[in-house]
């Protein structure tokens, strides 16, 4: 019988990319994932689709299952021969119950491994611009729990030593006991003028922080209505926040941006937004599906040697064309006698991943730009194959025809309305809590408006951002005008245009 094992993996302080490489690898290999409340669900996307995912989250007064049951669950799954990842926030052995869980595994002779994680004790202050040590201000720091086991007879936090025992004091899980903690620190010798910071939702685009002193931090935190999870930092290093704050100064920090791309293509845009501090809200209003029949595309593939050019207008066109190429037992060598054009760097990169370097990539990533760049070429009499979407516009075909080419377009994929549940994102849109709506094609415009129905005008409450002029034209045909139109028609260009728009707004307010 296969022997199971449990991996106690620290997921980090919240931001999914802060998990360790080792932790992520074990997550991908897991048969079972037992995860806590504060785990970012995007981490679970890295797991195998066949992995069993079990939520065991806890919060004050509400435990999904008790700790003893969690211990038994790990033991039983391991005894079934499963690779079990116990995914815990921060580091499993820093003020969590990882050590207790390890004891339970050891007592039951279950092999286990502890995978340290980035602790919120130092990561959250760092994201708030507060180093826990500093050459001039602090040479030591202490981490203290602000929430002890309620079954203990008395507190085991030695506030007398903790208050003055190190330069910086970091208190985890202490938001609910802030008044008690402040009182203990003052009673045990910390001056009331000592700087304090309270950081809520640390490392996420929802991060908020308030600073003050022991004398006024309770009122200041109360005014901000802070809720757990929060990290409290006490010490002179807090004074550095004004100078070192970087995360909350990211250009799109806290902006909720609706991503309407197809689900399997949304990741690139979402990652770019996250890197600038935004909160991507994925609402895939379209879905990419194969044509009703492969017959026409297969015929075009088999007759490829009769064409002088093949032009790919999107990543999807490359992927679906290649799918049929492989299905017909062909490979990149089949394109040896034909010139290859690509509209846009993402399409070119996808071709290069298949072993094909495009012969032509226009300076402007539009159909018009593609045609304009070919005016120097003698296209007269060339047969040009364009595998593309079923609802693609006619600008490219008509433009190539004007150059004298004989253009054959064939459907490589269809764009249809998405069927996945999108209710949460839709409700955010209807409530007016979305700051920016991104449109990456004309089909995203028509599909989103169709989903909203008679309430479509709610999109006027947000800034409308288009990847290029063709998408903007689709908006204008519906009586809408884009606030933002990318000059470089790529995902990066779109995000940069959004960034520049808000930077301009900030400058105009100054």
Number of helical (H) and strand (E) elements in the chain, helices listed first: 18, 22
Quick check: is 173 catalytic? Answer: yes
Quick check: is 58 catalytic? Answer: yes
Per-residue buried b or exposed e for 435-470, using 16+ beta carbons within 10 Å of the residue's own CB: bbbbbbbbbbbbbbbebbeeeeeebeebbbbbbbbb
Distance CA 507, CA 490 (A): 26
- The dihedral formed by the CA atoms of 439, 445, 450 and 452, expressed in degrees to the nearest 10: 40
Neighbours of 500 (CB within 10 A): 14
List, in order, residues 6 or more apart from 116 with CB less than 8 Å away.
10, 20, 91, 92, 93
> Tokens standing for 164?
């003055």
| Displacement of CA 421 from its chain's centroid (Å) | 19
> Tokens standing for 444?
């995203």
| Candidate list 82, 91, 167, 173, residue with the active-site label | 173
| Candidate list 22, 53, 58, 267, residue with the active-site label | 58
Quick check: is 390 catalytic? Answer: no
Q: Residue 502 phi/psi, 5° resolution?
A: -75, -30
| Candidate list 31, 36, 91, 167, residue with the active-site label | 36
Separation in Å, CA 417 to CA 263, 368, 421, 437, 480 = 11, 27, 12, 17, 21
Catalytic residues: 36, 58, 173
């Amino acid at each position: 019988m296969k022997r199971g094992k449990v991996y106690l993996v620290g997921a980090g302080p919240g931001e999914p990319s802060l998990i360790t490489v080792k932790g992520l690898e074990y997550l991908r290999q897991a048969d079972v994932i037992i995860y806590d409340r504060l785990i970012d669900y995007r981490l679970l996307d890295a797991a195998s689709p066949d992995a069993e995912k079990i939520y065991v989250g806890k919060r004050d007064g509400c435990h999904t299952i008790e700790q003893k049951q969690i211990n038994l669950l790990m033991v039983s799954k391991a005894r079934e021969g499963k690779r079990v990842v116990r995914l815990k926030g921060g580091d499993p052995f820093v003020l969590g119950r990882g050590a207790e869980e390890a004891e339970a595994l050891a007592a039951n002779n279950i092999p286990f491994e502890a995978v340290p994680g980035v602790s919120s004790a130092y990561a959250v202050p760092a994201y708030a611009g507060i180093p826990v040590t500093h050459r001039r201000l602090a040479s030591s720091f202490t981490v203290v729990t602000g929430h002890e086991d309620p079954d203990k007879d008395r507190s085991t936090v030695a506030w007398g030593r903790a208050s003055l025992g190190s330069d910086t004091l970091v208190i985890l899980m202490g938001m609910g006991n802030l008044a008690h903690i402040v009182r203990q620190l003052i009673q045990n010798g910390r001056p009331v003028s000592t700087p304090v910071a309270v950081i809520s939702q640390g490392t996420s685009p929802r991060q908020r922080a308030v600073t003050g002193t022991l004398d006024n931090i309770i009122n200041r935190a109360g005014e901000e209505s802070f809720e757990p999870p929060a990290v409290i930092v006490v010490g002179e290093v807090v004074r550095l926040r004004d100078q070192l704050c970087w995360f909350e100064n990211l250009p799109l920090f806290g902006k909720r941006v609706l991503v309407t791309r197809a689900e399997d293509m949304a990741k690139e845009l979402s990652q770019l937004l996250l890197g600038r501090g935004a909160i991507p809200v994925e609402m895939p209003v379209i879905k990419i599906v194969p044509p009703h029949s492969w017959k026409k595309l297969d015929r075009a593939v088999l007759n490829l040697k009769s064409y002088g050019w093949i032009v790919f207008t999107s990543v999807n066109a490359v992927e679906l064309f290649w799918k049929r190429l492989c299905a017909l037992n062909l490979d990149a060598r089949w394109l040896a006698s034909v010139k290859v054009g690509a509209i846009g760097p993402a399409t070119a990169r996808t071709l290069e991943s298949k072993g094909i370097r495009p012969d032509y990539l226009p300076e402007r990533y539009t159909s018009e730009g593609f045609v304009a760049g070919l005016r120097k070429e003698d296209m007269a009499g060339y047969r040009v194959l364009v595998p593309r979407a079923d609802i693609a516009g006619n600008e490219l075909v008509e433009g190539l025809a004007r150059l004298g080419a004989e253009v054959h377009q064939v459907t490589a994929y269809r764009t249809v309305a998405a069927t996945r549940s999108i209710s949460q994102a839709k409700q955010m849109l209807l409530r007016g809590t979305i700051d920016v709506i991104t449109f990456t094609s004309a089909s995203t415009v028509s599909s989103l408006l169709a989903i909203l129905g008679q309430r479509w005008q709610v999109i006027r409450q947000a800034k409308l951002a288009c990847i290029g002029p063709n998408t903007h034209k689709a908006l204008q045909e519906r009586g809408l005008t884009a606030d933002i139109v990318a000059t470089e028609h790529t995902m990066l260009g779109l995000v940069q245009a959004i960034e520049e728009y808000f930077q301009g707004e900030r400058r105009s307010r100054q």
